[in-house]
Structure 1
Amino acid sequence: MGEPLLEMRSATVDYRTAGGLVPAVRGVDLRIDAGQTLGLAGESGCGKSTLAMSVLRLLPRNAVVGGEILLGGENVTEMGWGRLRAVRWAEASVVFQGAMHALNPVQRVGEQIAEPIRVHGKGPVERRVGELLEQVGLPARRARAYPHELSGGQRQRVMIAMALACSPGLIIADEPTTALDVMVQAQVLALLSKLVDELDIGLLMISHDLSVLASTCQRLAVMYAGRIVEQGRSAEVLRQPAHPYTKALAAAFPTIGDPASRLAPRGLAGDPPDPAQLPAGCPFHPRCPSAMAECSVTDVLLRPAGEDRVSACLLEVEP
């Protein structure tokens, strides 16, 4: 295999607080190749966005990043600000959650798409902006619109056009469809899949919805308490979860056509642990319906759980 677009080796992120360092990401290993899509799932507070934003060092100043985060083989944590400025947009870019908040409300969307093109000197600006809008399914004339003149789905397409502006190899999409209705959500997901296939780029997509990730991404990684607890091919992970947390996430959403699941979805009681006060042993054991005595003292790391699958659990997945 060639060099990956993104590779994380024992990546960590801690936040400096008055009470000391608080771990948000704890030793994550991930890899994304050209043309590959990876979904990152988990509840709020599990470290998904922190992990993703560490790729381009878009974290607050009190964040301390450790391990290796290799973008095209180059360690992001060792880049100077000049090199980092050159890498952002050109090698990797971000589609943020909530386009209305990410876009400047008093600037036309065409000018916002044009900004990274000008910064990186990527050719004739006006023509490139029109090409990008058409690439994401919007007419070029919409470049003169202000964000409030566009629908939610159109604004999200503008964000995707901005992310593509400098032809990066990797796109990070942080909950790109959360605020959209079901029909528009399906259109945006189909657009992302189409762009990955046509442009041979890599996609790291974050969501709490396993079904959304499974429909868009080839591989799925599930995160809990700052660690990956399961990773494998999306269809297999969704069909037969190896980790109890993955199973709980999948069961939290009602199944279409199943009245029983619609009226009584199987949720998960409680919340993820406070990163500053992680429980001993497996961090999921206080909420795990399958927890054993050993789980409260043994912190299990990822281990094989089938073909091309790993899981951080003492339980054996049923065939």
Structure 2
Amino acid sequence: MTSSNLLEIKDLRVTYGSGAAAVPAVRGVDLAVEPGKKLGIAGESGCGKSTLALALLRLLPATAKLSGEILLDGEDVLTMKWGRLRAVRWAGASIVFQGAMHSLNAVHRIGDQIAEPVLLHQHATPAAGRKRAIELLEQVGLPAARADAYPHELSGGQRQRVMIAMALACDPRLIVADEPTTALDVMIQAQILRLIEQLVAEKDISLLMISHDLAVLSDTCDRLAVMYAGRIVEEGPAKAVYDNAAHPYGSALSAAFPRIGDPASRRAPRGLPGDPPDPSALPSGCTFHPRCPVALDSCAHEDQELRDAGPGRRAACVHVSPAGPAVPTAPEASAGSPA
């Protein structure tokens, strides 16, 4: 039976190095994106989000070893020959990298950089490539005259718009946006997010968006997956995960941001002590247990797989039940919590 999903990730594993020195960055991820839908992936720095994004189009360095399946329209990206993979990049799926200044070529004009994938993939003439570049600039809210500018002549928000224009150049069916609003001020961030939403809706494009900000993802995406130590620990409808997380890590990420209209959260936003574990020295059992406020003694020895956490939801926590999220508060679980 043919899958209805545009993108399916099955048991994806990514390691850097080999042998005893191999470091697991992504550990058995399973995700799917339906046509025209938006999936968000959240997590702290070091949880494997960017590695996952780059793996989707095999953009990782040669030191990375990949296994599993990445099915784009039913075709496995990991087994594609280089010629086919080159054709799929930009035309089938494209990526908006974080840090637009570092992703754009400083010595080439903006218009030439946007036109390049059109010339390569659609075999357009230079005049047609130029015309397409101007069309794309106007689609992302920039005047045609910006085609002759160099990256350093644009603001951070304008450069990010250029990155989005490049991602749209060959009419891909999937866009992967890796922290597309990093380092932008709040007003520009909001504009970029609205622009992405508008373009995705108008062109019926699927979106996989990566961020550390659950609030942004819940406002932008249909579904949300929370990633920790290279694995998905929770997945479900975006609003439901943000408002009532089933996993203690998702709950902590959500609580780290003050809520508008909630004086208590604004005056005392709750964070999470510590950092994600070093991938080369993962703790035994549930990798989150050293930081978990509701961990049981068994969590230090028994790993947790994703399980049913309510309608359309999954979470990898011992406290989860099919009836829905039921993460206890720290005092209720203090007897079994680590010191």
What is residue 274 of structure 1 aligned with on the other side? 278
Q: Tell me whether 1:189 sits opposite 2:193 in the alignment.
A: yes
What is residue 100 of structure 2 aligned with on the other side? 99
Secondary structure of 2:215's aligned partner: helix
Structure 1: any 5+ residue segments left out of the alignment?
A: none
What is residue 289 of structure 2 aligned with on the other side? 285
Aligned pairs (5 A) from 1:65-76: 65-76=66-77
Secondary structure of 1:281's aligned partner: coil
Residue 231 of structure 1 and its aligned partner are, at CA, apart by 0.2
Q: Is the 8 A contact 2:112 2:130 kept in 1?
A: no
What's the CA shift string for 1:272-296, capped at 9, x where partnerless?
1111111111100000000001111
Residue 101 of structure 1 and its aligned partner are, at CA, apart by 0.9
RMSD of aligned C-alpha atoms?
1.5
Residue 18 of structure 1 and its aligned partner are, at CA, apart by 7.7
Q: Is the 8 A contact 2:5 2:32 kept in 1?
A: yes
Secondary structure of 2:90's aligned partner: coil
Residue 259 of structure 1 and its aligned partner are, at CA, apart by 4.5
What's the CA shift string for 1:93-138, capped at 9, x where partnerless?
1101111111111111000001101111254212111111111111
Q: Is the 8 A contact 1:34 1:200 kept in 2?
A: yes
Q: Is the 8 A contact 1:40 1:220 kept in 2?
A: yes
Letter in 1 for 2:326: E
Aligned pairs (5 A) from 1:7-22: 7-16=8-17, 19-22=20-23
Select 2:145's aligned residue among 126, 141, 144: 141
Select 1:201's aligned residue among 202, 205, 214: 205
Secondary structure of 2:56's aligned partner: helix
What is residue 117 of structure 2 aligned with on the other side? 116
Letter in 1 for 2:139: Q
What's the CA shift string for 1:188-209, capped at 9, x where partnerless?
0001111111111110000000
Residue 17 of structure 1 and its aligned partner are, at CA, apart by 5.3
Q: Is the 8 A contact 1:9 1:27 kept in 2?
A: yes
Select 2:215's aligned residue among 211, 214, 225: 211
TM-score norm. by structure 2 comes to 0.91
Residue 265 of structure 1 and its aligned partner are, at CA, apart by 1.9
Residue 82 of structure 1 and its aligned partner are, at CA, apart by 1.2
Q: Tell me whether 1:175 sits opposite 2:168 in the alignment.
A: no
What's the CA shift string for 1:35-70, capped at 9, x where partnerless?
100000000111111011101001011100000011
Secondary structure of 1:221's aligned partner: strand
Q: Is the 8 A contact 1:3 1:73 kept in 2?
A: no
Q: Is the 8 A contact 1:24 1:46 kept in 2?
A: yes
Secondary structure of 1:9's aligned partner: strand
What is residue 236 of structure 1 aligned with on the other side? 240
Secondary structure of 2:135's aligned partner: helix
Q: Is the 8 A contact 1:305 1:311 kept in 2?
A: yes
Letter in 2 for 1:25: V
What is residue 330 of structure 2 aligned with on the other side? none
What is residue 318 of structure 1 aligned with on the other side? 326
Letter in 1 for 2:81: G
What is residue 90 of structure 1 aligned with on the other side? 91
Task: Evaluate the alpha carbon distance shift between residue 122 and residue 165 of structure 1 in structure 2; reply closer, same or farther with a 3 A threshold.
Answer: farther
Letter in 1 for 2:101: M
Q: Tell me whether 1:35 sits opposite 2:36 in the alignment.
A: yes
Give the whole-Å Cα distance in 1 for the aligned partners of 2:217 and 2:279.
25
Letter in 2 for 1:161: A
Give the whole-Å Cα distance in 2 for the aligned partners of 1:259 and 1:310.
31
Give the whole-Å Cα distance in 1 for the aligned partners of 2:165 and 2:224.
25
Residue 257 of structure 1 and its aligned partner are, at CA, apart by 4.1
Worse-superposed segment, 118-127 or 47-56: 118-127
Give the whole-Å Cα distance in 2 for the aligned partners of 1:87 and 1:281.
39
TM-score norm. by structure 1 comes to 0.97
Worse-superposed segment, 187-196 or 249-258: 249-258
Q: Tell me whether 1:161 sits opposite 2:165 in the alignment.
A: yes
Give the whole-Å Cα distance in 2 for the aligned partners of 1:5 and 1:195.
18
Q: Percent identity?
A: 65
Give the whole-Å Cα distance in 2 for the aligned partners of 1:156 and 1:170.
18
Q: Tell me whether 1:45 sits opposite 2:40 in the alignment.
A: no
Q: Is the 8 A contact 2:3 2:74 kept in 1?
A: no
Secondary structure of 2:59's aligned partner: coil
Give the whole-Å Cα distance in 2 for the aligned partners of 1:161 and 1:5.
22
Residue 3 of structure 1 and its aligned partner are, at CA, apart by 3.3
Letter in 2 for 1:152: G
